[in-house]
Amino acid sequence: MLSRKIIVNLAPANTRKEGSKFDLPIALGILIASKQIYNSYLEEFLKETIFIGELSLDGKIEKVNGILPICIEAKRLGIKRIVLSKQNEREAQIVDGLEILPINHLEEIIEYLNGNTYIEKTKTKKFNSQNQAKYQFDFSEVKGQELVKRALEVSAAGSHNCVLIRSPPVLGKQC
């Protein structure tokens, strides 16, 4: 077998590139360039699709962070579908109008792109802000204390614990 070097250029250089979310598209690019993936509709499919995923050494597609903003931006740019890790499927379901193809392994997408298998598309979930619960209590009657209110909001949003402790009372004075 002939040994080869493959050089991957992530241009432009001034665009930040971090994390491992480029593993899957890089691997697919190499497989397409080496003619291991080929079909008649591939060019059109690639124009309408983004691929995101961390690739483990055994070919498993791992979860990556930040899928929701990626999906929102993809939809805004007119992308029709996204191929991602099965572990990221739930997060991506929130974006309506984007076809989601969840995969567990690199072989699945290779077989799909070669036309040998089918990947079940994920149905998006409708997110309706009108269905949000109305609460009896809120901060509307708390005057001032902006930092305390913000700390409580962050704590609640992140499901964190929070303890508010006031200064001890001065002896001899009523509080």
CA angle 63, 159, 134 (to 5 degrees): 110
Within 8 A by CB and 6+ apart from 67, the residues are 52, 84, 88, 91, 92
Mean pLDDT calculated for residue range 157-161:
84
- Predicted pLDDT of residue 29: 92
Per DSSP, what are the bridge partners of residue 103?
Answer: 85
Which tens digits make up the pLDDT trace of 29-53? 999 988 999 888 899 999 999 999 9
Total residues belonging to the chain? 175
The reply to whether 124 falls in a domain is: no
Instruction: Show the tokens assigned to 131.
Output: 């269905």
Q: How far is CA 63 from CA 94, 141, 157, in A?
A: 17, 42, 23
Q: Which of 49, 51, 52 is nearest to 41 (CA)?
A: 49
Which tens digits make up the pLDDT trace of 121-131? 988 776 665 65
Going by pLDDT thresholds of 50, 70 and 90, the confidence category of residue 105 is: very high
The reply to whether 153 falls in a domain is: no
145: pLDDT strictly greater than 60: yes
Which tens digits make up the pLDDT trace of 55-84? 999 999 999 988 999 999 999 999 999 999
Considering the chain, what percentage of its residues have pLDDT values greater than 70?
A: 88
The reply to whether 172 falls in a domain is: no
* Bond into 169 cis (ω within 30): no
- Predicted pLDDT of residue 137: 72
Q: Quote the number of domains for the chain.
A: 1
More confident residue, 162 or 58: 58
- Predicted pLDDT of residue 118: 93
Long-range contacts of 133-137 (CB under 8 A, 24+ apart): none
6: pLDDT strictly greater than 80: yes
The reply to whether 71 falls in a domain is: yes
The reply to whether 56 falls in a domain is: yes
- Predicted pLDDT of residue 81: 95
44: which DSSP letter?
A: H
The reply to whether 119 falls in a domain is: no
Q: Where residue 80 sits, what CATH number does that domain have?
A: 3.30.230.10
Pairwise CA distance, residues 77 & 94, whole Å = 17
The reply to whether 49 falls in a domain is: yes
The reply to whether 128 falls in a domain is: no
Q: Which domain holds residue 44?
A: 23-113
